[in-house]
Amino acid sequence: MYAPVRSGDQSGQSASVWVFACSQAPMLRTAIAAAPRPRISLAPARFAHELAQAQAQSAVPGRDDLDPSWVPLYRTISRLYGRPPGMVAAEMDNYLRKRRPLSADQIVAYVRKLRKFKSNACALELMDWMESRGAKLHQALRLGLVSKVHGIQAAEEYFWSLPDKSKETYSCLLNCYGEHGMACKGLELYEKMKVMDIVPNTLLYNSLMTLYQKAGQPEKIPSTFEEMRESGISANNFTYFTLIESYITMNDLEAAEKVLEELEKVAPVHWSLYTLMANSYIKLELFGKSEVALKKAEEVMDKAELLSILAIQPRLRGSGSLCSPHSRNA
């Protein structure tokens, strides 16, 4: 058995810490150091879309930051990516047999970070291990992981098995339908949510706009965005990415540019928005505009985001709009 002890968490507040008895039976991805970038790089639209969504999901300040004392265990767990099921649980049991303190908040932080780096199976196993020991359920977080690891049918079964479903859980299922391209089911669920008077939030609106895009109804996205603003709900990078993408789909590049220009006046712009515009300019052979958009992307791109690299550089070089790799320092 285990006994909860009160201790300070990383935010300075008290939190439950688990200390297991020694008789308990056993049951990172590492960031790549980026080299100096000699030339412009452009992410494919799909990858940029995923990056924008990931940033939106981790928008809570400090949520992905680990307390220094939590890092060693996280590194151990993250190295188990691709290993057989049960390895994460065994590692956690081994950690607790050494009578080391462990908080629920600490494990949830690990889960979020593992999910961020697409180590979803490890993250789900860690949640299963935590919840099997009586920790508080994080329904929406677990639902999203079940969808990624076991598929949408398993996610639906888990969702409908929950006795009490929160707004976040409904929003997460809506997002799962969007990720799996099930627009009809997603829109059907949204209609049920409206009947239930579930108040939308940013995640819900983002999921709804994604569903409209996948359903081939991009014309509904701008009005949904306006409804979102009128309701006083904040938009994030993923919201603007989907909005701009909808205008591009409708061949209204002028409207897409206007949204980006207005956003630049009031908030920092994520690089994925610039690369999205650059992709569109290249398709229309507007290479001068694509070069400007790419330079703006470079100015705001974080080193850790350089894995996006080089998707369509050959096309740009062929157009004459890019300098060679060795002349870019001029």
| pLDDT tens per residue across span 133-165 | 888 778 999 999 999 999 999 999 999 999 989
What was the pLDDT predicted at 44? Answer: 40
Distance CA 194, CA 158 (A): 22
81-89 LR contacts (CB < 8 Å, sep 24+): 81/29, 81/119, 81/121, 81/122, 85/121, 85/125, 86/27, 86/125, 88/122, 88/125, 88/126, 88/129, 89/27, 89/125, 89/128, 89/129
Q: Give the domain 236-311 fold.
A: 1.25.40
The type of residue at 215 is A
Distance CA 238, CA 310 (A): 22
Mean pLDDT computed over every residue of the chain: 77
Radius of gyration of the chain (CA): 22
Distance CA 39, CA 48 (A): 18
Residue at token pair 């908080």: 103
Could you give phi then psi for residue 161, rounded to 5 degrees? -80, -15
DSSP for residue 320: T
Four-residue CA torsion sign, 77, 83, 86, 87? negative
Regions of the chain with pLDDT less than 50: 1-51, 54-63, 307-317, 319-330
- Predicted TM-score (pTM) of the model is 0.65
> What is the CATH code for 137-235?
1.25.40
